[in-house]
A and B are shown apart, each in its own frame.
Chain A
Amino acid sequence: MSPLLAIHDLSKAFGGVEAVRSVSFEVAAGEAVALIGPNGAGKTTCFNLIGGQLRPDAGGIEFRGRDIAGWPPHKVWRLGIGRTFQVAAIFPSMTVQENVQMAMVSHTGRALNLLTPLAGLEAEKADALLERVGLAAQARRACGLLAYGDLKRLELALALANDPALLLMDEPMAGVARGERAELMALIGRVVAEEGVSVLFTEHDMDVVFGHASRIVVLHRGEVVADGAPEAVRADARVREVYLGAEAGQGGQPC
């Protein structure tokens, strides 16, 4: 069976800096793959290449057997790739519910409709989705008034609004207080399992990475240095070198 997402020889340079160099990896259906590496390793660039925010210089991105390299973000989304950003990106001038309604209306191709008020469209479905991410009580509030952890939940709801097959999550825990992380990660895990969505995520919190990833891809200076099951990556000498320097020591929280 062909993988859901197959990246091969992906490259992207900014001026003279090669942010991503000939990167290849795959995500199979049902997998949760973590893409990790020190700051500047090229993780977010990889995400932006897959999501269409950036155009690759070379290489291919195959999703469900179609080459989507260089497609604009809105078309990538229509194929079934949802996305969350490092800094939660939502629509602050709308209510929580309106955010989700907008996503759903876009999913059904009615974003250019001029005649029907949005208020009556997809309201129940939006509320049901908000219920699942634990935001039902906040549905009528302005997004600007939400706590950051709740913004992350809203973003998750937005990313799920079109029933994606693959979810790209760029540091889902970034900016979330340590105490809230377990709950948020449990929520993500639960929703993802219910939906049967495959996940590709980056994260600096290694508890989250090793607790939730079924496979880990390690990037360093734009190149893949390891790709395998969590235990194998944990034991990998090169990974230790990347994170801890040449005199690989014990433990410690990289980031």
Chain B
Amino acid sequence: MSFYAVQFLTGLASASSLFLVASGLSIIFGVSRVVNFAHGSFYMLGAYIAYSLTLRLGGGAFGFWGAIGLAAVAVGLIGVLMEMALLRRLYRSPELFQLVATFGVVLVVQDLALATWGPDDLLGPRAPGLSGAVSILGHRVPEYDLALIVIGPVVLVILWLLLNRTRWGILVRAATQDPEMAGALGINQKWLLTGVFFLGSLLAGLGGALQLPREPANLLMDMGIIAEAFVVVVIGGMGSIGGAFLAAVVIGELQAFGILIFPEITLVLLFLVMAVVLVIRPWGLLGKPEAIIPKAAARDVGRPFRPLKAAWRWAGLGLLGLLVALPATAGDYALQVASEVLIFTLFAASLHFLMGIGGMISFGHAAYLGFGAYGSALAVHHLGAPMEAALIAAPLLAGMGGLVFGWFCVRLSGVYLAMLTLAFAQIAWSGVFQWYDFTGGDNGLIGIWPAPWAAGAAGYYYLTLMLTVAALWVLKRAVFSPFGFALRAGRDSRLRAEALGIDVRRVQWLAFALSGAAAGLAGGLYAFLKGSVFPTVMAIPVSVDGLVMVLLGGVHTVLGPLIGAVAFTGLKIGIAAETHFWRILLGGLILATVLAFPKGIAGFLKDKLMRPER
């Protein structure tokens, strides 16, 4: 019995850091509607900066706590820098464009941290005066854990007072509830946003810095925490600080006890709880439900798709001709690169079908790429299936994955739906990562080679070209079919679509399956291209890569995402081949692109090249 009480305390201690990070994310999202992927990077920077500062300031209590406080403020200022130099220029950009920008920041921070602090884990000092353990019910509990248990609620109270008892806090809450009205009442949104980013980033930095005595600073902290923080925010309810605390405690305890009962699947458990909560209470534990009948908001949903002009059709055929002729001039390496570009073009197109046509934003589309890749690899590895059969298994497994995940996701909408897709992708990832006997865990599955007739670079390139073009054709056909229109109808006006006999949920559900299957085919092709599969194929960065391709290309165009995919994949491979620090270059390029084209590349072209349609 006493053992469980101690385990409970451990859970509370881990909840504190999680709460700090999540509350920061929640405050930032509430006011700015920015899904800040860089929030995890701020957490990581908090830990690294605190590490460096403790070395400078010495080991005393003053040095330790001073280092933590200074690190938090420093990270807060970095958040301000990001807001003022970057996001401030993007508030009028297409939906989610800021997300692309924050992901650019993630990449830049990763390489800067690598360059500054090196690849090794850095273990911080123990907290002076709190380095021992106290005996509780016969078990030893670290004193620092007890301090953390106190710090969490203290910060909760301070935040509550700040938001409810100060003028600034009231403005923040007003802007969270109704940004338009707040603006109409003369609230200076500009500095409010900057202030919110300072507070939110400071909380992330504080969370990271406080974690230092428990966990060494390392380069994987950013992606690890960001998924958990999303989960906490969503379970707790968007914009609810109390909800974030409650959810952090739930998650902390779940991990503390889950590790005793199901050590193999703690990660899965975490995301499973989120899925269950969202299906029962789609607006989170303490969040407020959205209006049942949404306002007929004038959202930008793009213009009608026009058939391509004859000249463009010929250009497309010409391009296809060039692609067919490519093996005559290109070497093996170039053909492999071309195959990979084709595969990611299909991946981007499948995501675009869900996002652009269906209006359902997926933060976890890599799951289906991964299902396809593992579907093929597992078929080869466990069943000894030939390549042809394995390539059929890929879209089948991914399509089924889409059916299962989609069934839950279509019950939600907007950011909640997006977060749930992320959660499912993480479930899939952790399942693959932890199920050693079946999937090989992080050792992956190797020896996934194509059939002899497609073994050469040119042969496999032709196979990829054929299947990719066929799948793209099917997707394009679907966009212009009644199904594609029904999907757009549900996105444009769910109210009207349902009042016209369209079962929007069912249409969206099938879209998940179709999109998943297309991504799965891409995954299968990817597995045979690389000859191996690792869990990274379904990790968050791959999902974000897809988002960047689609968003940079333009959500409300049919061809934009294809162009985005070619440009992004080509760049990524090109840069990675040239330098070890490819992340900072790629991130820098992303940032330069969003700043140069704040309306998206497609939006830019539309403004510059096309006259307004009459």
Contacts and interface: CB of A to CB of B under 8 A. Distances in A.
B325 interface: no
A234 interface: no
Contacts of A89: 296, 493, 495-496, 499
Contact of A112 (B477, B510, B556, B613): B510
Contact of A77 (B484, B500, B614): B500
Contacts of A107: 501
Nearest to A159: B499
A111 B488 contact: no
A54 interface: yes
A103 B481 contact: no
B108 to A, nearest CB: 35
Interface stretch (A60-68, A90-98, A126-134, A202-210): A90-98
A39 B143 CA distance: 62
Contacts of B614: 145
Contact of A115 (B292, B477, B496, B506): B477
B498 A158 contact: no
Nearest to A87: B296
A112 B483 contact: yes
B119 interface: no
Contacts of B477: 114-115, 117
Contact of B301 (A85, A92, A159): A92
Contact of A102 (B303, B482, B504): B482
Chain B interface size, under 10 / 10 to 19 / 20 to 34 / 35 or more = 35 or more
B480 A117 contact: yes
Contact of B304 (A73, A98, A112): A98
B303 A106 contact: no
Interface string A98-114: 10011101110011111
Contact of B499 (A51, A115, A142): A51
A92 B477 CA distance: 21
A142 B304 contact: yes
Contacts of A38: none
A51 B499 CA distance: 8
Contacts of B491: 93
A221 B419 CA distance: 40
A118 B482 contact: yes
B378 interface: no
**7 pairs of A and B residues whose beta carbons are closest in the complex:** A89-B496, A73-B498, A91-B492, A87-B296, A77-B501, A93-B301, A111-B486
Interface of A: 48, 51-54, 72-74, 77-78, 82-83, 85, 87-95, 98, 101-103, 105-107, 110-119, 121, 142, 144-145, 158-159, 161-162
14 contacts: A73-B499, A74-B500, A74-B503, A83-B499, A91-B497, A93-B303, A93-B488, A93-B491, A93-B556, A94-B485, A102-B502, A106-B500, A112-B483, A144-B303
